Amino acid sequence: MSEKTITEKFGELKSKVTLLTNATNEFKSKVDNQIRAISSSISKIAEKAKTCNMTSEEIKNKIKELEEKLKDKDKLCKELGYVAKSEVDTQIDIAMKELDNLATKNQENNDSISELVTMIEEDIKKVDKNLDEALQPNTSSSSSSSPSSAPVPASSSAPAPAPALPSSSSVPGPLPPRGGGKSRRRIIVRKKKLSKKQKNKKIKK
């Protein structure tokens, strides 16, 4: 087996460098595409966070999703052999900040809605109480009113005959004045005494 010449050795080295370069470029291209895909997904999440009204639970899930994307990005950067502040980091920071702001705003909206509901409930209670107080006099006056004030239903039959007048014998005489009974008796007794005296005078004559 003959020894390789320097030219052949350089040729082999060049081919190995070319293969290594191609492999490295392919790996870099693959990682770059993956990072771009992560960046795109983060941008979509940020856009959704701007346009949709998410609940607190949805916001927590989106933050977890962003944290997972951030871990994937760090892993890829370590595989490349470097860790640098890139466009992906900036977009992740922006998206995280927007989600935090959205979570704060969402909580403020929830608090304001709860406060509004409480105010409405208090107003309803006040109106209900005022109605009860306004209805109390009406119920008492209606219960104390006499039954004669109720409307009498019209009768379809002929009117009832007038009641018969009482007879003269049943009609009581005029009542004597108070204290006048005794004086009348005294007058009658005096008349009787006078008549007896007159009779006695006639007899004597």
pLDDT tens sequence across 118-132:
777 777 777 777 777
User: Strand, helix or coil at 154?
Assistant: coil
Q: What's the rounded Cα separation, in Å, for the pair 138 and 134?
A: 8
pLDDT in tens, 48-96: 666 656 666 777 777 777 777 777 776 766 666 555 556 666 666 676 6
Name, in order, each residue with C-beta under 8 angstroms of 43's C-beta and a sequence gap of 6 or more.
91, 95
**How many structural domains compose the chain?**
1
Taking alpha carbons only, the member of 92, 91, 107, 93 closest to residue 54 is: 107
Residue 95 lies in a domain: yes
165 in any annotated domain: no
- pLDDT band for 31, please (50, 70, 90 cuts): confident
Pair of tokens at residue 16: 């190995």
Residue range 112-123: average pLDDT?
A: 72
Whether 182 is covered by a domain: the verdict is: no
DSSP reduced 3-state for 145:
coil
With contact defined as beta carbons under 8 Å apart, do 88 and 38 qualify?
yes
pTM of the complete model: 0.27
The residue among 93, 48, 52, 49 whose CA lies nearest residue 69 is 93
pLDDT of residue 50: 63
Does residue 23 belong to any structural domain of this protein? yes
Instruction: Tell whether 89 is covered by a domain.
Output: yes
Is residue 64 in some structural domain? yes
- Give the pLDDT score at 156: 47
Residue 46 lies in a domain: yes
CATH code assigned at 79: 1.20.58
Domain that residue 54 falls in: 6-135
Q: What is the pLDDT of residue 27?
A: 73
Residue 153 lies in a domain: no
Q: Check residues 139 and 6 and name the one with the higher pLDDT.
A: 6
